Structure 1
Amino acid sequence: MPPSPRIVIVGAAGRLGQALVKRLSRDATVIGLARPAIDLLEPQSIRDALEPLDFDQLILPAAMTAVDPCETEQEKAYAINATAPGVIAEICAAKKAHMTYVSTDFVFDGETHGFYTEGDEAQPVSVYGASKLKGEELVLAADPGHLVVRVSWLYGPGKPAFPEWIVDKACSDANLSLPMDKTGCPTSATDVADMLVPLLEESASGVFHLCNAGSCSWQEWGQACLDLAREAGAPLKCDSIAGNWLADIPAFLAKRPPNTAMSTDKFTTFTGISPRSWQEALREHFATSGFLAKYQAAACG
């Protein structure tokens, strides 16, 4: 019986990192790295952390994902999202280890209707998207056998994300609005971890989109979250989220691509697996993550 693979996860404390550690630990020896053990701003820190290790695969979900700060801290964004992945990819190539780089739907300009495929041209409209695309290019240049997976609108039990934020807002504010002109695929980090397993088993290479099936607007996603929270007994002050437009949000520094819904047909063709719908995954998150307990307790009290 072959030994279980040794997998390094850089960014093990993050939302997706936690989901990956939990899922992959079932069948592999997982080495989780996070700050301060590894600092993606410092190439020497990366080398010091990785070069002594013996591993078969490495996954990099760590990134600078705050879209607006990327606009004002461009050097930092490129250091973390592009330079660091390139260094890591070269280390992996030298070790003959397979690398997976987690990228984003923000590599697209959002002007296409329908669902983006891996063959569609990436044309980012923000520093965040541009830095992640550069990271993709550097990873695949270091070794074409490496893997890039693009994810979108990620949430999960490890750390609060949009569902927790919008429910919290709805419990304190009776009037909420979200853009109707921003479309994408809400995606469970737990599902991404599950989808990644067959790709790792086959040492898949190139670019794959990993997200839950279907798409919606921010307004529709927010409303779905409130509907589930209400079913669970959360004391909402807001029952219905109004629609507005991206242009109505002056706090946004970076341009947001209006549509970044991604097709997973390539993943399904490769694995034979069809991702479940975003609605089903979201319902499970509300049922199992436990984050509604504090609202339910407040309502009972």
Structure 2
Amino acid sequence: MNPPPRIVIVGAAGRLGQALVQRLSPHATVIGLARPAIDLSDPLSIVAALEPLDFDHLILPAAMTAVDPCEADQDKAYAINATAPGIIAKICVTKRARMTHVSTDFVFDGGKIGPYTEADATLPVSVYGESKLMGEHLVMAASPLHLVVRVSWLYGPGKPAFPEWIVDKAFSESTLSLPADKIGSPTSATDAADLLVPLLESSASGIYHLCNAGSCTWQQWGQACLDIAREAGLPLKCTTISGNSLADIPAFLAKRPPNSAMSTEKYTTLTGITPRPWLEALREHFATSSYMEKYLAAACD
């Protein structure tokens, strides 16, 4: 019997990293790395953390994902999102290990009508998107056997994200608005981890989109979150989200692609698996979240 694979997850404390650790641990020897054990902004730290390890596969969900801070600190963004993945990809080659690099829907400019495929041209409109795209290129340049998976609008049980943020707002504010001209594919981190497993098992390489099926606007996503919370009995002050536009949010430093919905047809063709609809995954997230229990308890006090 072959020993279980040895998988390193760089960014094990993050939202997707936690989901990956939980999903892969029963079937593999998982080594989770996070700060301060590894600092992606420091090449020496990367080498020191990875060189002593013996592994078959490395997954890199860690990144500088805050879009506006990337715009404000471009050197740090490129160091973490581009240079670091390139260094890690080369280390994996020397160890005869495969690498999975987690990228983003922000590699697209948002001008397309309909969901983006892996064959569509990339043209980022922000430093975050540009740095992540450079990371993709460096990873694939290190070895054609490496894998890049793009995720979008990620949330999950590991730490609060947009669903928790918008319900928090509705719990305390009476009026809310979100862009009705920003389209994407909300993605459960738990589902993304589940979807990745068949790619790992088949030794897939190249670029694949991993997201829940369908798309919506930010306004529709926020409204769905409030609808689910209200159905669960939360006493929200705001129950309806009005629509505005990206241009109405002056706090945004970086440009956002107006449409970054992604197609998973390539993934389904390879695996035979169709990701479940985003709304179904969102409902399960709220149904199993300790966050909801906290608010329900507060409502009963």
Normalised by the shorter chain, which TM-score bucket? over 0.9
Deviation at 1:134, TM superposition (A): 0.1
Name the SS for the 1:171 alignment partner. Answer: helix
Matches within 5 A, 1:1-301: 1-301=1-301
Which range is displaced more, 287-296 or 35-44?
287-296
Rounded Cα–Cα distance in structure 2 between residues aligned with 1:215 and 1:254: 22
Rounded Cα–Cα distance in structure 1 between residues aligned with 2:41 and 2:260: 28
Rounded Cα–Cα distance in structure 1 between residues aligned with 2:177 and 2:288: 27
Aligned residues: 301
Name the SS for the 1:163 alignment partner. Answer: helix
Deviation at 1:2, TM superposition (A): 1.1
Amino acid at match of 1:279: L
Rounded Cα–Cα distance in structure 1 between residues aligned with 2:97 and 2:295: 46
Name the SS for the 1:191 alignment partner. Answer: helix
Rounded Cα–Cα distance in structure 2 between residues aligned with 1:4 and 1:259: 40
Deviation at 1:209, TM superposition (A): 0.1
Rounded Cα–Cα distance in structure 2 between residues aligned with 1:41 and 1:214: 35
Give the unaligned 5+ runs of structure 1. Answer: none
Rounded Cα–Cα distance in structure 2 between residues aligned with 1:38 and 1:85: 13
Rounded Cα–Cα distance in structure 2 between residues aligned with 1:176 and 1:223: 10
Rounded Cα–Cα distance in structure 2 between residues aligned with 1:231 and 1:120: 39
Deviation at 1:16, TM superposition (A): 0.2
Rounded Cα–Cα distance in structure 2 between residues aligned with 1:155 and 1:48: 31
Name the SS for the 2:290 alignment partner. Answer: coil
Deviation at 1:267, TM superposition (A): 0.3
Deviation at 1:294, TM superposition (A): 2.0
Rounded Cα–Cα distance in structure 2 between residues aligned with 1:296 and 1:95: 50
1:255-282 CA deviation, whole Å, 9 max, x = no partner?
0000000000000001010000001000
Name the SS for the 2:148 alignment partner. Answer: strand
1:26-72 CA deviation, whole Å, 9 max, x = no partner?
11000000001001011111011101100000000000000001011
Deviation at 1:163, TM superposition (A): 0.2
| TM-score, normalised by the number of residues in structure 1 | 0.99
Rounded Cα–Cα distance in structure 1 between residues aligned with 2:296 and 2:219: 24
Rounded Cα–Cα distance in structure 1 between residues aligned with 2:21 and 2:279: 24
Amino acid at match of 2:29: T
Name the SS for the 2:172 alignment partner. Answer: coil
Rounded Cα–Cα distance in structure 2 between residues aligned with 1:150 and 1:257: 15
Amino acid at match of 2:244: N
Give the unaligned 5+ runs of structure 2. Answer: none
1:203-226 CA deviation, whole Å, 9 max, x = no partner?
110000000000000000000000
Deviation at 1:126, TM superposition (A): 0.1
1:155-206 CA deviation, whole Å, 9 max, x = no partner?
0000000000000000000100000000000000000000000100111100
Rounded Cα–Cα distance in structure 2 between residues aligned with 1:202 and 1:95: 20
Rounded Cα–Cα distance in structure 2 between residues aligned with 1:190 and 1:297: 25
| TM-score, normalised by the number of residues in structure 2 | 0.99
Name the SS for the 1:242 alignment partner. Answer: strand
Name the Cα RMSD after superposition: 0.5
Deviation at 1:23, TM superposition (A): 0.1
* Percent of paired sites with the same residue: 77
Rounded Cα–Cα distance in structure 1 between residues aligned with 2:73 and 2:180: 29
Rounded Cα–Cα distance in structure 2 between residues aligned with 1:202 and 1:3: 17
Rounded Cα–Cα distance in structure 2 between residues aligned with 1:162 and 1:182: 14
Deviation at 1:290, TM superposition (A): 1.6
Amino acid at match of 1:168: D
1:83-111 CA deviation, whole Å, 9 max, x = no partner?
00000000001111010000000000000
1:241-268 CA deviation, whole Å, 9 max, x = no partner?
0000000000000000000000000000
